[in-house]
Structure 1
Amino acid sequence: MTPMDMLLSRASTDRLKPPAPSEAQMAEILATAMRAPDHGKLRPWRYVIVKDAARLLLAERIVASMVRMDPDVPEFKKQKRLNRFSTIPMTLVLGMHLRPEHKIPLWEQEMTVAAGAMNILNALHALGFGAVWVSGDVVNDPVLAEELGFPAPHKLAGFLFIGTPEAPLPSPKRPDPAQFTAIWQGQPVNFPADGKTP
């Protein structure tokens, strides 16, 4: 598989089974995140690996956070989150070590974290693993963030569920890039994806 084949065949999946990456593999995978664009070299990405018995502890914290964010959250949603977080082979907590006082805008710092996460997803796929990036209201819970090591102003960017795909990855139909691309020639552009002719 060529590098382009690898990039074009990546797809998210939460149908994951053991094994998760080894410690050495995770070190290599996380090294790819350090290649993300990072204006100001602030290095805002932070990663927390959760595996083995700690999965249930995290799952319980996630459910407690759900209730804090919405006291009326349905029981089936709590059970679904509890099950997913406690049974997926590995969860990678995506943290954002933010510096609001810095001249680099917060949105750029956050984009650096997102770019690092995308590199991780691609690296996992390149090594034969599967993953999916999940978020939800809990990423906005400052209590959960602090429990995981990210007191304000730092935040959560979500969670990567990681393991080995249970089956070959699907080949979902992807949109044509031409629908989202325009050539600028001095006037505002239009995009076919927005129902407008370029």
Structure 2
Amino acid sequence: MSLKNPAALEFLLSRRSRPAKTLVAPAPTRDQLVPLLTAAARSPDHGKLEPWRFIVIENGAMARLAELTETCGQSLGKTPEDIAKARSQFDLGHLAVAVVEVQKPSEKIPAIEQTYSAGAVCLALLNAALAAGWGANWLSGWQSHDPAFCKAAFGLAGNERLAGLIHIATEGAIPPERPRPDIDALTDWVSE
């Protein structure tokens, strides 16, 4: 029997990501982060494959990732503006969780469903952080999709890719509300 949880529904109806550039110290401690990771791991995992894993990027690793972003961006011919934007999440970051999609062989679970599961973990971690009172933002960027960056930064294997970087720290500013999707325009009802 399902129990109603009006507070959880109200949270979901009003949740709002916090821009990563507005997050300030302190970030969660390891003890504060573990319950958030635990909540995220309760996401649908399509056949109990757990097609994802976490890499916690603590403050001390941010400068290395910023420099690596610069180096990879230059080798890819990215503009200085693209490089500056991509590295800013590390230059300004305090803590981030890399959610790594891990494709696992399965006769029953298609690869795309494993990708969806990793995306669900990203959103669950984002929402858990927000519900716990932290500011949080889900970022990616060109470097997140560059195999050379991902291998050098995180040691990703051939069956792995970065689903997202969830930045978590203290909310430094309340973001303005933004327009939300028109549900009527996006919804079809099928009754027959």
TM-score range, shorter chain: 0.7 to 0.9
1:134 corresponds to 2:139 = yes
1:93 corresponds to 2:98 = yes
CA contact (8 A) 2:53 2:99 kept: yes
Letter in 2 for 1:20: A
Letter in 2 for 1:58: L
In structure 1, how many angstroms separate the alpha carbons of the residues matched to 2:168 and 2:28?
A: 8
Deviations 1:42-80 (Å, cap 9, x if unpaired)? 101211111222110111122223234x32x22233233
1:25 is aligned to 32
TM-score normalised by length of structure 1? 0.84
In structure 1, how many angstroms separate the alpha carbons of the residues matched to 2:48 and 2:69?
A: 31
In structure 2, how many angstroms separate the alpha carbons of the residues matched to 1:41 and 1:62?
A: 34
Picking from 81, 88, 98, the partner of 2:86 is 81
Number of residue pairs matched?
183
TM alignment of 1:149-160, pairs within 5 A? 149-160=155-166
Letter in 2 for 1:102: S
1:107 is aligned to 112
TM-score normalised by length of structure 2? 0.86
Letter in 2 for 1:163: A
Deviations 1:106-165 (Å, cap 9, x if unpaired)? 110010011011111111111111122111222222222222021112111121222111
In structure 2, how many angstroms separate the alpha carbons of the residues matched to 1:39 and 1:26?
A: 24
Letter in 2 for 1:49: V
Q: What secondary structure is seen at the aligned counterpart in 2 of 1:41?
A: coil
Which ranges in structure 1 are unaligned for 5 or more consecutive residues?
187-198
Paired-residue identity, %: 31
Alignment root-mean-square deviation, CA: 1.8
Picking from 116, 119, 135, the partner of 2:121 is 116
In structure 2, how many angstroms separate the alpha carbons of the residues matched to 1:150 and 1:112?
A: 18
In structure 2, how many angstroms separate the alpha carbons of the residues matched to 1:2 and 1:45?
A: 29
Which ranges in structure 2 are unaligned for 5 or more consecutive residues?
1-5
In structure 1, how many angstroms separate the alpha carbons of the residues matched to 2:74 and 2:49?
A: 34
Deviation (angstroms), 1:96: 0.9
Mark the structure with the bigger radius of gyration. 1
TM alignment of 1:1-198, pairs within 5 A? 2-12=7-17, 13-14=19-20, 15-68=22-75, 70-71=76-77, 73-99=78-104, 101-103=105-107, 104-147=109-152, 148-186=154-192
